[in-house]
Structure 1
């Protein structure tokens, strides 16, 4: 379900999330955790190039959002919001049979407590990816609308490279 009805449903879902006072990932995770059945913890990791940019590891007591900490701050925020989108949409992960992935990502966590991992794998449901992208976009729009933005006279952007990436993404989504 990725049409206008889904977008409207996701917009209502996101509208109920308390908007954090700062646009950082920790604040967003705390706000989303209020809607979920358990807390959400961030795991910034240097993920291998052939691994997904992010994934959700679920344990009985918490969700853990792992993301590549070697990418730009803007990309990290998007990865985290995307993974939160999976959680909010109710997408379920694959049960963990082996312990190799859990040991690689969370060496200090007992692999026996990891109940599922939600990440992009071959044959992953493209609808779920689209839904997570929609929710990620809506989350950041919703949670950053109350954050004061600098005016036009505030000087150069803090991260021109990030501004260029955002502009390129915006143009591609607008079809121009």
Structure 2
């Protein structure tokens, strides 16, 4: 899921805060680095220092499957890869199990969240513009290490060695914004 909100509108400039959430309802067979990213149109630039993400897991007790628990999902500042004017991506190493209060929990669901602020200069003409953004998640299941790539003309998010990853469908979002000085 993608959500977007306008956070700054100043003379000649507009900024948006973009959130991307993913939910992978499986226990990982392999616990390598999974990756996800966002790509956008219209030459918006990200403010890399605003990039953050979190990852949490849900699981069942190894000794009693009726007992469930989840990890904290602490917020982390940073990102994995960035292409100015096109997109940004994150990665996380999935886990298969975790301990809480002496109990081992087997992971059967993974969730992540990421956020970035993007901005663009405008001419103040009052014109309405339309932009698009897409998010995509990649679960690694073979040994090859892929690198995210971003195409702003689509927009699209890709990965090298895509045969080594299960990927989500593209999740797109379109929004209208004004070339307006407030």
TM-score range normalised by the length of the shorter chain: under 0.3
Larger strand proportion, structure 1 or 2? 2
Greater relative contact order: 1 or 2 (C-alpha under 8 angstroms, separation 6 or more)?
A: 2
Larger helix proportion, structure 1 or 2? 1
TM-score normalised per structure 1: 0.24
